[in-house]
Amino acid sequence: MYSNSLTEMGDLEIGEIMDILALAAEFKANIRSHRGVASGLLMASLFLEPSTRTRGSFEAAMKRLGGDTITTTDFKTSSMEKGETFDDSIRIWGNYCDLIVLRHEESGAPRAAANISSVPIINAGDGINEHPTQALCDLLTLKEEFGILEGLNIAICGDLRNGRTVHSLAYGLLLLGNSVTFVPGTGLDLTEGTKKYLREHFGSVITELPPSQVGYGDLYEGDCEAKAYMFHKPRSGLEFDHKEKIIYTEVRPDALYFTRCQAERGSSANQAGYPKVNLNNLETEFFSRAIVMHPLPRLDEVSVLLDDHPRSRYFKQAANGVPIRMALICLMLGLKPWSSAATL
């Protein structure tokens, strides 16, 4: 793990991800009986951007473990407003606590903090870059659903350009040997840089999925200019039959993961060109096995009529935030042992 901090998914090895998920499952089975574990320890939650789930679940996690939290939620109430540098602020906070959880509008801020901090840093979302602890909640939800985290096909839909959860989840899924289908909103595709990064890391093959041939076209109200495409391992060799049609069953998703349009980061959604899911979509054969996920908050990309649907999982994903963050706190502070050798 990078300097004992978690700044992006690339800091984690497969064994470490598995340790976090396994410990989270243990905590989840009995969430109220671990109050002695972090007693006497303090976590600083520095949230310099809005948050509901991430901050709430980190603080709940630390308190469920018997530790305590100190919080800052905006620049205006800290000395950064008086001109104090970010580096100095991190050094000071590090004197007051055992762990810093940082959300920041700038990509790379947690990594910069990790370089100078005397205590571990956890990235709770940095600009358009990454949100690794959300990806861990997503992976736990998938593991609970499918029992394994390999060989699945997860369709990530919406604002792929500026949605940071997308980047962390895609990395984690490909690392573990899954396929990822990207279903972008018009103008909101992954950047070429992100595609290159993923391809270089995982040697994935990219297959375009023309909407007319697969069901993803049904997620758009109008014609979408952007095409869905799939990152998959060369060995899974999506084949084409003699009519050049993609073999349907291989591209059907196990999960549909929606994201909102990140207006505060400059994204704008053309309504007709933004993928959304409703009851009718889930009833089609193409989506008949897919669960519905979303890191939340949602706008209208997941219909509220799906909230009680047997295949909706977005509230469960949010609930998984507490055990995941309990596990992460314990492992990073050495309160529980990592089982894999390649750590700390």
Residue 253 or residue 295: which is nearer to ligand NCD going by CB? 295
Rule CB under 6 A: is residue 296 a binding residue for ligand NCD? Answer: yes
Instruction: Compute how many other C-beta atoms are within 10 angstroms of the C-beta atom of residue 261.
Output: 22
Closest CA to 142 of 328, 309, 311, 325: 311
Residue closest to ligand NCD when measured from CB atoms:
295
**Considering the complex, what minimum distance in angstroms separates the CB of residue 136 from ligand NCD?**
12
One of 3, 10, 42, 53 touching ligand NCD (CB under 6 A): 53
Rule CB under 6 A: is residue 260 a binding residue for ligand NCD? Answer: yes
133 contacts: CB under 8 Å, gap ≥ 6: 6, 54, 58, 122, 123, 124, 321, 324, 325, 328
Rule CB under 6 A: is residue 265 a binding residue for ligand NCD? Answer: no
Side chain identity, residue 65: L
Rule CB under 6 A: is residue 54 a binding residue for ligand NCD? Answer: yes
**Considering the complex, what minimum distance in angstroms separates the CB of residue 327 from ligand NCD?**
17
Residue 51 or residue 236: which is nearer to ligand NCD going by CB? 51
- Tell me if 43 sits within 8 A of 67, measured CB to CB: yes
Residue 134 or residue 153: which is nearer to ligand NCD going by CB? 134
Summarize the chain as % helix, strand, coil (round to 5): 40, 15, 40
Footprint (CB under 6 A) of ligand NCD, residues 128-167? 131, 134, 164-165
Is 212 buried (19+), middle (13-18) or exposed (0-12) by CB count in 10 A?
exposed
Rule CB under 6 A: is residue 125 a binding residue for ligand NCD? Answer: yes
- Total residues at the site for ligand NCD (CB under 6 A)? 11
Angle subtended by helix axes 86-96 and 109-116, to nearest 10: 60
Rule CB under 6 A: is residue 325 a binding residue for ligand NCD? Answer: no
**Considering the complex, what minimum distance in angstroms separates the CB of residue 336 from ligand NCD?**
24
Which strand (E) or helix (H) includes residue 223? none
> Which of the 8 DSSP states describes residue 130?
B
- Tell me if 129 sits within 8 A of 108, measured CB to CB: yes
**Considering the complex, what minimum distance in angstroms separates the CB of residue 55 from ligand NCD?**
9
Residue 117 or residue 134: which is nearer to ligand NCD going by CB? 134
Q: Tokens 């602020």: give the residue.
A: 89
Residue 191 or residue 284: which is nearer to ligand NCD going by CB? 191
Rule CB under 6 A: is residue 267 a binding residue for ligand NCD? Answer: no
Region of residue 229 (left: phi > 0; alpha: psi -120 to 50; beta: else): beta
Which residues here bind ligand NCD, judged by CB under 6 A? Answer: 53-54, 125, 131, 134, 164-165, 259-260, 295-296
